[in-house]
Amino acid sequence: MPERFHGARWICGCALAVVLAGVPVYAQQGSGGELTRQPEPVGQPAGQDAASASQITVPAGTKIPVSLLHAISTRNARENDNVYAETNFPIVLNGTLAIPPKTYVQGVISRSKRPGRVAGKGELLIHFNTLIFPNGYTLLLPGALENVPGAENARMKGGEGTIEGSSSKGKDVGTIATTTATGAGIGGLATQSAKGTGIGAGVGAVAGLATVLLTRGPELRLEKGATLEMVLERPIVIDRSRAAKSDR
């Protein structure tokens, strides 16, 4: 009989513990003895905190200097040709390295225009679309060309990222002047008269003008190693754990 009594007490105790485990925790508040439920702690799951810590966002408008890995010229550049470059300066945000030097950047030529024979300048429109870290980690990149500090005889045109080459006007004027003077000298020597000099000058001017009309202006050329400044059109999110992983 005593054994059955003790067994029943043990079963009742277990049942009471189970019931109490499901009851919310209350605390007595104030002198009236009212009971209020204690708020449960609010927080992000540990996995979400870890994911946020491993990511870094590079905001839109960030400027990233890159160096060309090959030369580009309007003489042979075509639309949809690839452009290959690499970053030449670290991008650091809040004391954290976001994009290291020697990170590859790939782009595409969206438009290539050769200079005209009478007027016009060479033009190139380049967009960047891919960022490749040294270990192969790859991101889509919404990048546009902002500036060409390392390119000679070139400047930015408008706000869409078009590079414009130099003009040949000064060279054209010099060509016509040179042929005019040469023609005048030949005419004067041949006829020994002012009339001959005038005729020769006219012939020389025509020859110079024909040369200008048949010759294109200077091609726009970006040399290998030239520094270009890329700007992010939209923010990008970098997974630091993947970007920092060794490629060995």
Q: What is the pLDDT of residue 59?
A: 97
Distance CA 91, CA 103 (A): 11
Condensed to tens digits (0 to 9), the pLDDT of residues 144-160 reads 999 988 777 778 887 77
DSSP calls for 27-84 = EEETTTTEEEEPPPP----HHHHHHHHTEEEE-TT-EEEEEESS-EETTT--TT-EEE
Q: Does residue 1 surpass a pLDDT of 60? A: no
pLDDT of the residue at 84: 98
138 versus 167: which is more confidently predicted?
138
| DSSP tag of 129 | E
Of 218, 222, 221, 220, nearest to 117 (Cα)? Answer: 218
Cα–Cα distance for residue pair 206/187, rounded to 1 Å: 14
Tens-digit pLDDT profile for residues 110-124? 999 998 766 678 999
Is the pLDDT confidence value at 136 over 90? yes
Query: Residue 19: what pLDDT?
Result: 44
The boundaries of every CATH 2.40.128.260 domain in the chain are 54-166+219-243
Beta bridge partners of 28: 35
CATH class of 54-166+219-243: mainly beta
User: Is 248's pLDDT higher than 80?
Assistant: no
Averaged over 176-186, what is the pLDDT? 48
Amino acid at 146: E
State the pLDDT confidence band at 138, using cuts at 50, 70 and 90.
very high
pTM check: above 0.85: no
Question: What pLDDT, on the 0 to 100 scale, is given for residue 154?
Answer: 78
Task: With a cut of 80, say whether residue 72 has pLDDT above it.
Answer: yes
pLDDT above 80 for 71: yes
